[in-house]
Amino acid sequence: MWRAAGALLLVMTLAVGGAEAAESTDWKTVSTGDVLIRVRPRADIPGGREFWAEGDMAVGLPYIASTLKDHEKFRRWMPHVKESRVLSEEEAGSRVTYTQLDLPIISNRDYVLRVEEQEGRDEEGRETLQQRWSPANDVLPERRGVVRLLRNAGSWFFTAKADGSVHFVYRFTVEPGGSIPGFLAGVGQTDAVMDTVRAVERRARQLAADDPARQGSSPPP
């Protein structure tokens, strides 16, 4: 059960995050390594927790954008993702996605999201990318034998750095769903966040290495 709760947090973090500063005194720092991670309880969500993480990825912004925008391939590189589909593309540039998680011990979970990206530049002229998502459960009925995660929202925010890497801020809310006791949602929280961050970075670095335009050049360290 403990392993299952950690796995649930791992795969959910891809679908929930944000660029806001961790300004509240309710936040508790749980990691101060390469990635700073903070967490606080969500009183409005039974067993819910909100996470905030910040750090760097040694890969260019275009490859991170390609990684996160290609939802259909999430099942190929993100642990426990059994199914990942784009249900529709919307006129405003957003899309509706479906994800099902195949988890150890506990029943499968799934979620339907409306996802959008916004590219721009900050005050210093650096390229930025923000991805936000929110629930879109009305688009697809719940499936028998699969627990629907109803509260799933957040964002990534990336800023390109001069050395070819990126800085990220990542914020998300976890709702365990189903019969998992609320306190188990925090089990393995630090490792799960780190695993998700590193999975995104590895996938982006793979895309960079496979890019014909980069052949003969070295990726960021």
Model confidence over 109-143: pLDDT tens digits? 899 999 999 999 999 999 999 999 999 999 999 99
pLDDT tens digits, one per residue of 34-69: 999 998 888 777 667 788 999 999 999 999 999 999
How far apart CA 188 and CA 10 sit, in angstroms, is 9
In a domain, 219, yes or no: no
In a domain, 220, yes or no: no
In a domain, 165, yes or no: yes
- CATH number, domain of 55, equals 3.30.530.20
DSSP 15: G
pLDDT tens digits, one per residue of 147-191: 998 888 889 999 999 999 999 999 988 666 555 544 444 555 677
In a domain, 188, yes or no: yes
Residue found under tokens 């990126």: 166
In a domain, 167, yes or no: yes
- Structural domain containing residue 185: 2-214
In a domain, 143, yes or no: yes
- What Cα–Cα distance (Å) separates residue 91 from each residue in 3, 86, 96? 40, 14, 12
Band of pLDDT at residue 218, cut at 50, 70 and 90: low
What's the token pair of residue 12?
């959910």
In a domain, 9, yes or no: yes
Count the domains in the chain. 1
What's the token pair of residue 157?
């925010």
